[in-house]
Amino acid sequence: MERQEVRARIESIGIIPAIRVSSAEDARFAATAIHCAGIPVAEITATVPDAVAVISDLRRSIPDMLVGAGTILDVQTAQRCLDAGAQFLTSPGLVPEIVEFAKRKKVAVLPGALTPSEIIAAWNAGADLVKVFPCAQLGGDSYIRALKAPFPDLPLIASGGVNQQTAFAFILAGAAALGIGAELIPKESVQLRQEERIHELARRFTKMVRDARSRKSAA
């Protein structure tokens, strides 16, 4: 899948589930659960044990799922993830070498940024989308709305502090997508294999994204 297609699909789905769990088995369960719930994308963070193997397994077992690698801090890890089949790379901050590496490899890259200067730097470096992290600490949806004034056409992912109380507002403020971790994939639900609870949370967040976009388009 070309990087433009990956960006378009992420924006269409509107949610990037960040899977940050304590075992490879838990990661596989979580990814399968969200896929079954209708969210065909997952970010497997590099902090997951055997994350590279998990990425490879998911690409084989769920071929229609968009699988990315998250918390990528160095080019070596990025290369291993791409070799395993990762279709996009994310990082919590702007690491210019990773953005440049992704451009060379023609892979979508979603670097983190916080300030306007960092966002400009990330976009100019070649980011496909910019992950504003952590959002909640700087005002939540009001911060996204403030950023969209000078950057109306720049696709921003709201990440950090996205939950059932804030998701709708983040999309309404102009976020192209939401990065959601434990609020979508609770630790206890993974440990207890509560697949239906994850399904219900996925349905709720998906509806929030859909409803917020409908309101924006009607405004």
Contact 69, 86 (CB under 8 A): yes
Q: Which of 5, 11, 25, 43 is catalytic?
A: 43
Q: What is the 3-class SS of 53-94, one letter each residue?
A: HHHHHHHHHCCCCEEEEECCCCHHHHHHHHHHCCCEEECCCC
Between β-strands 130-132 and 156-159, what pairing exists: parallel, antiparallel or unpaired?
Answer: parallel
Catalytic site includes residue 131? yes
Dihedral (CA of 125, 43, 56, 64) sign: negative
Query: Which is nearest to 108 in space by CA: 122, 94, 129, 92?
Result: 129
Beta bridge partners of 70: 45
Catalytic site includes residue 148? no
Q: Which of 105, 131, 195, 196 is catalytic?
A: 131
Catalytic positions:
43, 131
